[in-house]
Structure 1
Amino acid sequence: MSHTVLHRWKNIQLAEIDVALPNGKSIRHTTIIHPGAAVILPITEDGKILLLRQFRPSLNKWILELPAGTIETNEAPIDCAMRELIEETGYGAKRFEPLGQCSPLAGFCDEIQHLFVATDLYPNHSLSLDDDEIIDVIKVSLSEIENWIRNDEITDGKTIACLSKAKLCGFLTE
């Protein structure tokens, strides 16, 4: 598949790609080429969930979301999940269960988000944040999170998707 890179930022590209459609037509499509991400649902021993209150410059506001991060070059999704959990929450986990994948922006981005549940958490170290990350870690119950989703206090798609998948797979009960 040939493509022309229009812009690069970190390891993300805005590109025009040639695509052969299932109906036999060929088109030039503008898309974001993304290396993928890991989304982590950290569950504490007492059944609480570690959630981030993070300032997002793209939205120019604070949002509530699960820990997540972009996969680095030659990094496996599970390794990204382990790294991001430590960097963004200060906790490691002895167990990671894969929940599958999510395609958050299929209309204009090829990003695949790999969803994980992390349990048997242990304190690892203080947060190790990127220059553009401002994060507060909070511990909340599933019922609080569900109320925040219902009331539009949580609108982050990856968070809603990961929580929904975890609940459907039996990892969350309350």
Structure 2
Amino acid sequence: MSNEIRSGEYVNPRGIPQAPFVETVEDYVKSRDQVEGILQSFQEMLSKYKYMEMSTLRRAAGLREKIPDIQKTLDSVIFLDSKRDSENPTLITTFELNDTLYTKARVKAADTVYLWLGANVMLEYPIPEAVELLQTKLKAAKDSLAICEEDLEFLRENITTVEVNTARVYNWDVQKRREEREEKDASAAIK
């Protein structure tokens, strides 16, 4: 086994490498001189995993916030589409202008809707295209959230592995130091 720290053979589909698991510290660390470098490498690896975890948590939180908005918009467009063919195509509704400001509106049946796409861009879509677009966006957001959750689980497992490796190498070093000190004390007592 090599003395340098290498990640495991497996890399998840998003390119996150798996942390190596140190089964036998004696096979992994050839001498006590290497311990400091190995522990430092583990700390760097742990920092990278924690950074990826925080980034993935932020991305997942954004998706969790975005999915209900997309679903609400999709439901509204589907409802408007259902009103087009009804006997009373005009709809009187209350809608939100701001967080605490609402107003009443009369909405006539239409063949198109306007959707905010982001970056101050609004486009007009025929209702069937709007439904298709929103369904695609909703599915993509849900798929991305599932990927984030999968990556978070993978990262948490690897963080635990690196922490266990760190503890095992550190404890091995402490034990070796104690053995060396006991050998010195024993040889000093014999003299």
TM over 0.5: no
Q: Which has the higher strand share?
A: 1
Structure number, greater radius of gyration:
2
Question: What TM bracket, shorter-length normalisation?
Answer: under 0.3
TM-score, normalised with respect to structure 2: 0.20
Structure with higher RCO (Cα < 8 A, 6+ apart) = 2
Provide the TM-score with structure 1 as the length reference. 0.22
